[in-house]
A and B are shown apart, each in its own frame.
Chain A
Amino acid sequence: MSPVETSVSRREQRHSLALTVGLALVGVNLLVALLTLFWTPYDPLNASGGRLEAPSLLHWLGTDRLGRDLLTQLMIGARTALLVGTGAVAIGATIGVSLGVLAAFATRIADDVMAATLDILIAFPTLLLAMLVVAASDSASLWTAILALGLAISAIVARLTRILTKRVLRQDYIVASRTSGTSWAGVVFRHVLPNIWPTLSVNFALQFGLAVIAEASLSYLGLGAPPPNASWGRLLQEAQGTVYTAPIGAIAPGIALVALVIGMNLLADGLRDIGDPTRGRSR
């Protein structure tokens, strides 16, 4: 056995710090998003103060160019971001994992065709793909964006799943499972999925971040969900003109975006360890 692992304890410390920070960042966003379902400081649609007011006790982050409370919009933006991220990943995961597992079982020719198709799909930049879908549909709604992003993600997930599944299928315990009388379906649910989960979950977390940024980009370009769905991307776009006079308008949504994506990435490792009896450590 190769004892190249140095100070496992130090690595574990770093691990748990990353996890805590990630959990905190994502957790805050989640709580805020849930809160907005019941209450927001002000009405997001209508002006509640003067134009471009600086942060004050009344408006913690000030107001935007139309006099709307920035904090309120930021909070709703969290809801949008989480919705998009979770929705896109959910769609991408469902379609992607199913396709990927099927591809791993497919015969040589079918598998090659599928792999090639996936590679072509992946070659398209996610954002461009999403823009095409959104532009093609009549209603620029939040769900269109989520669907578009979900489809883009599914291609990447499918390819990853296919490779991971193939690797697992080569292991002796799969053969042992078959000789135990387990059906292929049983093998997939009992052995394949749990074993590909660690790597997949990390990928999901990363895709989540990408989806959030993609949606922000769409909104920034004006292709995103229209109000009342506030998006950090749209806030950034609106704050463009006044970035020198009222910087908070751009800084706040910017930080929020970064915080959520970083938080999710940090959480990624933690997600992998959940349900992993070896807690990420190699034998």
Chain B
Amino acid sequence: MLDLQNVSFGYSREQTTLNDVSLSVRPGTSVGLVGESGSGKTTLLRLMLGLIRPTSGVIRFGEESLDTGNSAFMQRYRRAVQPVFQDPYSSLDPRQRVIDIIGEPLRSLRIPGDRTQTVAEALEAVGLPLDAMRRYPHEFSGGQRQRIAIARAIVARPQIVLADEAVSALDLSTRIRIVELFKTLSEKLTLVFVSHDLGVVAALCEEMIILERGKVVESGKTRDILAAPKHPYTQRLLASIPRMPA
């Protein structure tokens, strides 16, 4: 569905943030992009969202290649691929009502249908009450805000949701609930989850790609990598994760 082939990106000529990255997102298979700071995962996400263009390599969506200049294509792409960001406090416009926040994709992508009804369905899908529509972001907690952001991402019924550290800023008890929400939603769409937290990725994604300094060092089924990590970086990463006492 979404393929990156030998994609590289550098903000300047000397500095390459991503080097020859290839990955495939297949319908129905959730993928985790794991990396620490400096791994290039944020850049990778921005490339997949069509916000920046790769310096080399190709990104294919279905049969077509991702052309950020083609507005008709981008309309279709945006309808199919939606993001959820990390910070629930900066990803919602504080001066907009929830109904307008969630309804923005419907409006901008000119999706037909009763907007209020569609927003209501999205709210229901994320477990928020209908009266949230008239309220403002500051009236909600971090976890609830993230639900609003997720509602915005799914309102246009996308094929892929790209989550960028979507639970990292949440408390543990909230985190588990949002992870459960993502799990439920991933039944109807394909989830690409970027995170530095292997535990979260392990709980959500069938497949995993490990990034180190702009390169893919390991990829494959999550279960397999966790059981027998091949690359030394993956091994070090796994060994570093603090575990619960037995």
Do the beta carbons of B94 and A176 come within 8 Å of each other? no
Interface residues of B in 75-96 (CB under 8 A from A): 75, 78-79, 81-83, 85-87, 89-96
Binds B, one of A167-175, A208-216, A248-256: A167-175
Answer whether residue B230 sits at the interface, using C-beta atoms and an 8 A cutoff.
no
- Among the listed A180, A182, A195, which residue makes an inter-chain contact with B95, where contact means beta carbons less than 8 Å apart? A195
Known contacts A180-B104, A180-B105, A276-B95: A172-B85 contact under CB 8 Å: yes
Known contacts A171-B90, A181-B109, A182-B108: A176-B136 contact under CB 8 Å: no
Least CB distance, B182 to chain A, in whole angstroms: 17
A181 CA to B156 CA, complexed, in Å: 11
Least CB distance, B27 to chain A, in whole angstroms: 20
Least CB distance, B162 to chain A, in whole angstroms: 9
Return chain B residues, CB-CB under 8 Å to A13: none
Return chain B residues, CB-CB under 8 Å to A194: 93, 95-96
| Total contacting residues, chain A, CB less than 8 A | 23
Known contacts A172-B87, A176-B85, A283-B89: A182-B94 contact under CB 8 Å: no
Do the beta carbons of A277 and B138 come within 8 Å of each other? yes
Query: Can you name 11 A-B pairs with beta carbons within 8 Å?
Result: A172-B91, A173-B92, A175-B85, A176-B85, A177-B108, A179-B49, A179-B82, A180-B109, A181-B75, A182-B108, A277-B97
Do the beta carbons of A186 and B108 come within 8 Å of each other? yes
Interface residues of A in 184-200 (CB under 8 A from B): 186, 190-191, 194-195
Answer whether residue A11 sits at the interface, using C-beta atoms and an 8 A cutoff.
no
A171 CA to B236 CA, complexed, in Å: 34
A267 CA to B75 CA, complexed, in Å: 44
C-beta contact mask, B23-61 vs A, less than 8 Å → 1, else 0? 000000000000000000000000001110000000000
Do the beta carbons of B91 and A176 come within 8 Å of each other? yes
8 interchain residue pairs of minimum CB distance? A181-B108, A172-B91, A180-B105, A277-B136, A181-B109, A182-B108, A172-B90, A180-B104
C-beta contact mask, B56-70 vs A, less than 8 Å → 1, else 0? 000000000000000
A66 CA to B152 CA, complexed, in Å: 70
Known contacts A180-B152, A181-B75, A182-B104: A277-B94 contact under CB 8 Å: yes
The residue on A at minimum CB distance from B109 is A181
Answer whether residue A227 sits at the interface, using C-beta atoms and an 8 A cutoff.
no
| Total contacting residues, chain B, CB less than 8 A | 32
Answer whether residue A222 sits at the interface, using C-beta atoms and an 8 A cutoff.
no
Best-buried of B50, B79, B94 by chain A (most CB within 10 Å): B94
Could you list which residues of chain B lie within 8 angstroms of chain A, going by C-beta atoms? 49-51, 74-75, 78-79, 81-83, 85-87, 89-97, 101, 104-105, 107-109, 136, 138, 149, 152
Do the beta carbons of A277 and B95 come within 8 Å of each other? yes
- Among the listed A176, A190, A277, A278, which residue makes an inter-chain contact with B149, where contact means beta carbons less than 8 Å apart? A176
Answer whether residue A275 sits at the interface, using C-beta atoms and an 8 A cutoff.
yes
Do the beta carbons of B108 and A195 come within 8 Å of each other? no
The residue on B at minimum CB distance from A278 is B138
Answer whether residue A15 sits at the interface, using C-beta atoms and an 8 A cutoff.
no
Do the beta carbons of B78 and A180 come within 8 Å of each other? yes
Given A176-B152, A179-B81, 10 more pairs with CB closer than 8 A: A177-B104, A178-B51, A190-B93, A194-B93, A194-B96, A195-B94, A277-B136, A278-B136, A278-B138, A283-B138
